[in-house]
Amino acid sequence: MKILIAPDKFRGSLEADEVCAAIETGIKMAYPDAVVKAIPLADGGEGTMQILTGLANGNKETAIVQDPLGRKIEAEYGIAADGQTAFIEMAAASGLKLLDKHEYNPAATSTFGTGQLILKVVERGVENVILGIGGSATNDAGIGMAAALGYRFFDQNDQLLSPIGGNLQHIARIDASQVLSELKEVRFTIACDVTNPLYGREGAAYVYGPQKGADATLVETLDQGLKHFSKIATKTFGKDISQTPGAGAAGGLGAGCIYFLNATLQNGVGIVMEQAGIENIIADSDLVITGEGKVDEQTLSGKVVKGLADRCSKYKVPLAVVCGTLLISPEQTRSAGITYAVSVLNKPMDLDEALLSASKLVKEATFNMVRLFFQK
């Protein structure tokens, strides 16, 4: 029997490759003769760069860039073995993980460091950039990224603005006269796992602002800033993309990438699966096992589990899911195309204990699950 392991990370406890290892151990305990193929996955958020670089037999490199508050840090990016494609995670330079809790403030943060990473790879001559935009600390609609590439933003008094989220509402003019000329020769694909518009109740500020440190008053201010930016950008570039699905991703960076990079937004997990050639592997498998830290309604709208469920249903291959927290109903499980879903928690325990025991719990849950599928 052939089993494909293709999980996302368990946030806060196990990286995707560690989940693969735990699941494979559980499989072999239950079914030693299984032929196992392991492919760690990601949805465009943290971990995407590393996985894509590995799939491309590439190398990770580092650059000195600015963090969300303008401090110098070292950030990683990936280059494919052929040197033609670069893999970048905006979280490496502009992610919430880079800040202490008391520093969260989407009015003061910027994607400038992400722009510096893009500048680095464009100057070395890549033809393609795949940029994952999950995990942001920002709400600047990508003006920080754009500023690093030569765009400039002026207020009504023609004063140059600092490219931070709080200044979106003050932009009166966007200047592109100093933009890096090589940008137009590069194809940008944005790995994005959300479909939010740029502004409004379902937009970047209202949905994601609070988790980045914005109170109710600041959320409203940021949303007005995104709406104002949209008006200026529409006038500058001749198109309104504010309602494009994903425009509100990463604090509006989705929209910024379309405007400033002429980029294409794609489902993040779809990009990773395409690079891995996973559809052919699924078609040749008897069982697919995936997992992530929490399976909930959001999981069913574009995450790794949903992407796999769609492909497994196409080839009538059963899909089993192991997770830390299982928050979908049996009806949702069935309608999503999931054959079997189980939480790895086997007794009452607090979060710290669950995180520390994650590998063991995944292994044991997999062992019990595989015995259901393959009685021996």
**How far, in Å, CA of 322 to CA of 182, rounded?**
45
- The boundaries of every CATH 3.90.1510.10 domain in the chain are 48-269
Q: What is the pTM of this model?
A: 0.88
**In a 3-state reduction of DSSP, which class is residue 279?**
helix
Kindly give the confidence (pLDDT) of every residue in the chain, 376 residues in length, as a single tens digit, with 9 standing for 90 and above.
Answer: 899 999 999 988 899 999 999 999 999 999 999 999 999 998 777 788 999 999 999 999 999 999 999 999 999 999 999 999 999 999 999 999 999 999 999 999 999 999 999 999 999 999 999 999 989 999 999 999 999 999 999 999 999 999 999 999 999 999 999 999 999 999 999 998 889 999 999 999 999 999 999 999 999 999 999 999 999 999 999 999 999 999 999 999 999 999 999 999 998 888 999 989 999 999 999 999 999 888 888 777 767 888 899 999 999 999 999 998 899 899 999 998 999 999 998 888 878 888 888 999 999 999 999 988 876 5
- Which residues is 295 bridged to in the sheet? 326
Contact 282, 311 (CB under 8 A): yes
Contacts of 323 (CB under 8 A, 6+ apart): 10, 291, 292, 293, 294, 295, 341, 342, 343, 344
- The boundaries of every CATH 3.40.50.10350 domain in the chain are 2-40+277-373
DSSP 245: T
Task: Give pLDDT tens digits for 285-325.
Answer: 999 999 988 888 877 776 788 889 999 999 999 999 999 88
Contacts of 80 (CB under 8 A, 6+ apart): 53, 56, 57, 58, 86, 87
Question: Which one-letter amino acid corresponds to residue 20?
Answer: C
The two tokens of residue 170 are: 């003050």
Q: Which long-range contacts (CB under 8 A, 24 or more apart) does 177-181 make?
A: 178/150, 178/151, 178/152, 179/149, 179/150, 179/151, 180/119, 180/122, 180/123, 180/149, 180/150
**How far, in Å, CA of 219 to CA of 83, rounded?**
41
Does the domain at residues 2-40+277-373 carry the CATH identifier 3.40.50.10350? yes
Q: Which fold has domain 48-269?
A: Glycerate kinase, domain 2 (3.90.1510)
The full DSSP string for 73-125 is: EEEEEEE-TTSSEEEEETHHHHBGGGS-GGG--TTT---HHHHHHHHHHHHTT
Residue whose structure tokens are 């198109």: 239
Strand order of the β-sheet with 85-89 is: 59-66, 72-79, 85-89, 128-132, 187-192, 264-267
Residue 266, judged by CB atoms within 10 A of its CB (0-12, 13-18, 19+), counts as: middle
Task: Give pLDDT tens digits for 38-87.
Answer: 999 987 777 889 999 999 999 999 999 999 999 999 999 999 999 999 99
